[in-house]
C-alpha cells in the first residue's frame, strides 16, 4: 500500500461511505491521531505468530474472590428411556435437549 496523505477531505469522503456525519472539529481531532493509528496497523499486519501461539482473550466468568465448587462425581444419567431418532433432519434439529442427550 502506497503512502497517501490523509486530510480533512479524505475523512469527509470516508463518512459518506460509512453513512455517518462528523463536524469540522471532530474531523480535525481525528486527523491529529490518524498517523499513529496507520503506523500501529502496519505493525500489526507485519506480525505473524506461529500456530502454537494461544488466543489473545481468555474468558473467565468468575468474579474476583468467587470460588467454584469442586465437581462431586460428574454427570449422572437420568435413566430415562432413549427416544427413537426422528426421520426428518428438522425434527432432530429442534428436538429437546433431553432427547438429543440420549
Q: Where are the domains of the chain?
A: 8-46
Residue 74 has pLDDT above 80, yes or no: no
For residue 48, the 8-state DSSP code is: -
pLDDT at 78 over 80: no
Cell numbers for 99, please give them: 432427547
Cell matching residue 73: 462425581
Contact indicator for 86, 92 with CB cutoff of 8 Å: yes
Q: Tens digit of pLDDT for each residue in 51-71? A: 887 777 888 888 888 887 777
94 DSSP assignment: T
Q: At what angle do helices 8-18 and 24-46 cross, to 10 degrees?
A: 80
- What does each C-alpha distance from 80 to 28, 75, 76 come to in angstroms? 68, 14, 12
Amino acid at each position: 500500500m502506497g503512502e497517501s496523505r490523509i486530510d480533512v477531505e479524505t475523512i469527509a469522503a470516508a463518512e459518506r461511505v460509512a453513512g455517518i456525519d462528523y463536524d469540522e472539529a471532530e474531523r480535525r481531532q481525528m486527523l491529529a491521531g490518524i498517523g499513529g493509528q496507520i503506523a500501529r496497523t502496519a505493525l500489526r499486519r507485519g506480525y505473524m505468530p506461529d500456530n502454537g501461539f494461544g488466543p489473545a482473550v481468555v474468558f473467565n466468568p468468575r468474579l474476583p474472590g468467587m470460588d467454584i465448587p469442586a465437581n462431586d462425581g460428574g454427570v449422572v444419567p437420568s435413566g430415562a428411556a432413549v427416544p427413537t431418532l426422528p426421520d426428518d433432519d428438522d425434527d432432530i434439529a429442534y428436538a429437546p435437549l433431553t432427547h438429543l442427550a440420549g
